[in-house]
A = this chain, B = another copy of it.
Amino acid sequence: MNEITLIQGLLLMIVVFICALDQQMEAFYWFRPMVVAFFSGIVLGDMELGIKAGAVAELSYLGLLTVGGTVPPDPLMAGFMTVVIAYTTGRGAETALGLSLPFALLAQWLGIFFNTAYSTVVRMCEKAAKAGDTGKFTRICYGAWFVKSGAMAIVAFLAAYGLQEPIQNFVNAFPTELVHGFEVAGNMLPAVGLGLLLMVMLNNQNIPYLFIGFFMATFTGVDNVLPIAMVAVAIAYIDYLYNQKMKAASAAAVAVDGGDDEDGI
């Protein structure tokens, strides 16, 4: 059980601000739990906690992706609050991950609000565009970018610094079973991510490979996905070669026919 000082709180706000800028870009992946928790841990003076909590949250939010413009429970806030809660309450990272969920949802709603409200920004840009004013166009975009990041940073500051006592009290009143229950759930949560990934990728043609990958991970000593990815690339490439050949065979049929037509005429 530790307390977050005001200075730490403000530094954390800056961390979240920077990561939120990146979250809108999706460029450097500093918005991922792994990174934001690392920085937050450093600020809190317990880098190791930050690293471990970040790893746990990273895995759970692996499949909660923004793909297609959807807004999932917020990975930035989840990573951030997992460290903060683990730090202030002294609970393990799994439990803290479970308890960070309400904040991840809060940030999700904030994101949806901005994505809706920014229709006004579109209007402003349209005007600048018509005027051919590139400078103004750019400034408006940057403004929108910073405002959203700022909002996220303020929410983070409030949650981490302002709410620390209520959270501590709340969590301390928890019976062991409840805490353990959050851990159990935390261990299952990655299934949501994988389920979502499958939603997008799985089809009738590639389902057998799911089972092959599962078999490899279960029955060989692999404890890292890289070797499986390596074999997957190999298999995908073999499949590609076969498909090219079959395409060539079909094409041959058509070509033969084409040449034939000319003969016929």
Q: Is A209 an interface residue (CB 8 A)?
A: yes
A254 touches B252 (CB 8 A): yes
A234 touches B218 (CB 8 A): no
Q: Smallest CB–CB gap between A235 and chain B, Å?
A: 7
Q: Is A212 an interface residue (CB 8 A)?
A: yes
Q: Measured between alpha carbons, how far is A246 from B254 in the docked complex, in Å?
A: 15
Q: Is A250 an interface residue (CB 8 A)?
A: yes
Q: Smallest CB–CB gap between A232 and chain B, Å?
A: 10
B260 touches A253 (CB 8 A): no
Q: Is A5 an interface residue (CB 8 A)?
A: no
Interface residues on A, range: 35 or more
Q: Is A131 an interface residue (CB 8 A)?
A: no
For A218, list chain B residues within 8 Å (CB). 227
Chain A 95-131 interface 0/1 with B at a Cβ cutoff of 8 Å (1 = within): 0000000000000000000000000000000000000
Chain A 197-211 interface 0/1 with B at a Cβ cutoff of 8 Å (1 = within): 000000001011101
Q: Smallest CB–CB gap between A215 and chain B, Å?
A: 5
Q: Smallest CB–CB gap between A44 and chain B, Å?
A: 39
For A219, list chain B residues within 8 Å (CB). 216, 220-222, 227
Chain A residues 214-254 with CB under 8 Å of chain B are 215-216, 218-222, 227, 230-231, 233-235, 237-238, 241-243, 245-246, 248-250, 252-254
Q: Smallest CB–CB gap between A50 and chain B, Å?
A: 32
Q: Smallest CB–CB gap between A14 and chain B, Å?
A: 45
B261 touches A261 (CB 8 A): no
Q: Measured between alpha carbons, how far is A199 from B208 in the docked complex, in Å?
A: 28
Q: Measured between alpha carbons, how far is A235 from B211 in the docked complex, in Å?
A: 10
Chain A residues 119-149 with CB under 8 Å of chain B are none
Interface on A for B, CB 8 Å cutoff?
205, 207-209, 211-212, 215-216, 218-222, 227, 230-231, 233-235, 237-238, 241-243, 245-246, 248-250, 252-254, 256-257, 259-261, 263-264
